Structure 1
Amino acid sequence: MENALEKAKVTLPIHGFLNLKEFEIPKGEALVQAILDLKKEKNAIILAHYYQTADIQVISDFLGDSLQLAREAKNTDADMIVFCGVHFMAEAAKILNPTKKVVLPDLQAGCSLADGCSGEGLREMRAKHPNALIATYINCNAETKAESDIIVTSSNAEVIIESLPKDRPIIFAPDKNLGKYLSKKTGREMILWDGSCIVHEAFSMERIAKQLAENPGAKLIAHPESETAVLDLAHFIGSTSALLSYVENDDCQKFIVATEEGILHEMKKRAPQKELIPALVFDESCNCSECFYMKRNTLEKLYLCMKYELPEITMNEELRLKALKPIEAMLEMSKSIK
């Protein structure tokens, strides 16, 4: 086992826990109990996004969207933050907690938005528009955050965009669909980075329109990362947490849900009497809207990452401080948002 651990320490910075057969991992309820024991032993907190698998959501200490998780990461008194989400989320937790250990079950839990936007690219856009403010969606890496004036999430983006000086142009990155939606909502024209989420872009307007026709009385709810054609069909558009609240509180009894399918677990808990139908995607061989990256995290990897405290998120202090400034600006401007 020591040989396996030493091998893991060498390969983890790139690959994470790939060959799980090299490790002794408890099964079933024993695995869940082992994770709970490790959490107590190491004074750790498990933060999980709504798009994680149900078994991870159930075992987490805090379940939330990007804004909620950023707040929880900033305020925790745990010694170790175990982030069940994607890489940019764990990075944000480290930016906010330089003295705490932050671990991620799988380093390859990335994000198509984050991968498609670079700090260098934002610097080039700023050079072309020197008077512009850069508002960047939290779905980006630390280098991109460091080049931004303020960070936004889908929960607070509208409030923040509306509050920015009217005499300054806005560069919005990296999600063009969210940017288009915000421009329409706020009336602010923005210079958009050409990026998108592979999950939300996969929804098919034609197949969803057919779903609506086949389910009279159903309401379509959609995340603003979806394409405009899908948003135009939606009865309600909102962040992950807003979609949850809408389903829980609206009188409608049937919803077609256009966001990552992991949210359905929490929706069913909050509104067990309501019918929830996943919105259909373009690929007719697959009707699910699953994020491959989010689902890289598993209970087995969660156990190993807590036991060995790897893979650990580390960061250059100069970069961390630069990336911290726009995140703190976001948190300050978002205090009124639940």
Structure 2
Amino acid sequence: MNTRELQDEIIRLKKEKDICILAHAYQSQDILEVADYTGDSYGLSLKAAKAPQKTIIMCGVRFMAETVKVLSPDKDVYIANEEALCPMAQQLDVPRLRQLKKQYPGYAVVAYINTTTALKTEVDCVVTSSSAKRILENMEEKNILFVPDMNLGGYLKKQLPDKNIELYRGGCPTHMRVRANDVKRMKQAHPDAKVLVHPECLEEVTKLADYAGSTTGIMNYAKESDAKEFIIGTENSIVQHLQFACPDKKFYMLSKECVCHNMKATTLMDVYHTVKGDGGLQITLDDDLIKGARRAIDRMIALGG
């Protein structure tokens, strides 16, 4: 089969079997075209919870599929490629977090959503890149231990001087490959282009940007801006997606190195086999894990909307 034939068969099978396909924005364009919903991890989880289908396939990384299961425990949830993990989510485990909590007694522990379900059971609140500032502002606690991303946490620390934020030294390997020299080089090549970056990037990068925000925020900024050229500082698939969405504008990679190999692990053929029933991995979580993680996610919803 060619790409179009494979896409048509996936669409036929998902309708026949009443399956909802979720695709994170870092997936390839051919996968986005067969998905029912695309976007960031938390937004997809909310879409899955409201979807009428009882079977959900996540095209993304493992923690995203787990978040879908936490919010939709009665649904059958699959990840299309079981080898697709998030390196940042693996950087901090429960024993290490418990040690940190002893080092920072009385601190509220806030976790980026890019963490395992087990870790979420041990924290006070979860945040996304788009909701983090609003949630931390709304928290009564002044002393906050932010895990695991020191770059997003550092970005928030500068924006919220009234909060005492301590950071765990983790982060996204993909976004940390980008450097200030990349910004300077690309701005020299494209002086009229706006620089849009993710706050998972190093501070030396975000401080040179015209805009720093979530993946969804970056895409919305580019779509709504009157500018015609943009340098994109997040996973490079976003460049292609924006080229499709805005053919009258030009988009450039901030760095060719900004590639998430775990996101790229999922292929259209993986999606086909999962829909067909002979591929993918079903996500199973025990009730205590779901209940514990849901507590932190519910607080996120209460504080951030």
- Equivalent pair of 1:136/1:150 in contact (CA under 8 Å): yes
CA contact (8 A) 1:278 1:288 kept: no
CA distance in 2, matches of 1:236, 1:30: 39
Partner of 1:315: 285
Q: Which residue of 2 aligns with 1:21?
A: none
**What's the CA shift for 1:125?**
1.4
1:122 equivalent in structure 2: 97
Q: Partner amino acid for 2:148?
A: P
Aligned 8 A contact 2:147 2:167 in 1: yes
Aligned pair count reads: 303
Contact 1:71 1:331 in 2 (8 A): no
Q: Pick which of 293-302 and 211-220 moved more.
A: 211-220
Moved more, 86-95 or 201-210: 201-210
2:117 aligned to which of 132, 142, 154:
142
Q: Which residue of 1 aligns with 2:50?
A: 75
SS of the aligned residue for 2:27 comes to: coil
In structure 2, C-alpha distance between the alignment counterparts of 1:33 and 1:269, rounded to whole Å: 20
Instruction: Name the structure 2 match of 1:177.
Output: 151
Larger radius of gyration: 1
Letter in 1 for 2:180: M
For 1:168-317, list aligned pairs within 5 A: 168-187=142-161, 188-280=163-255, 287-308=256-277, 310-317=280-287
Q: How far does the alpha carbon of each residue in 1:292-328 deviate from its partner, in whole angstroms, 9 at most, with x for none?
A: 0001111111111122264101112111111111112
Match 1:47 to one of 13, 18, 22: 22
One-letter code aligned to 1:294: M
Q: Which residue of 2 aligns with 1:10?
A: none
- Whole-Å Cα distance in 2 between the matches of residues 45 and 333 of structure 1? 29
Contact 2:109-2:123 at 8 Å conserved across structures: yes
Residue 29 of structure 1 and its aligned partner are, at CA, apart by: 2.9
Query: What is the CA-CA distance between 1:334 and the residue it aligns to?
Result: 3.0
CA distance in 2, matches of 1:130, 1:42: 50
Counterpart code for 1:312: Q
CA contact 1:67–1:155 (8 Å) conserved in 2: no
Structure 1 runs not aligned, ≥5 long: 1-25, 281-286
Q: TM-score, length-normalised on structure 1?
A: 0.86
55, 77, 81: which one pairs with 1:102? 77
Q: Deviations 1:68-121 (Å, cap 9, x if unpaired)?
A: 112212222211010011100000001111111100111110111101111222
Asked whether the 8 Å contact 2:176–2:202 carries over to 1, the reply is yes
Percent identity (aligned): 33
Q: Which residue of 2 is the match for residue 4 of structure 1?
A: none
Letter of the aligned partner of 1:28 in structure 2? T
CA contact 1:42–1:79 (8 Å) conserved in 2: no
Q: Which among 274, 292, 297 is matched to residue 327 of structure 1?
A: 297
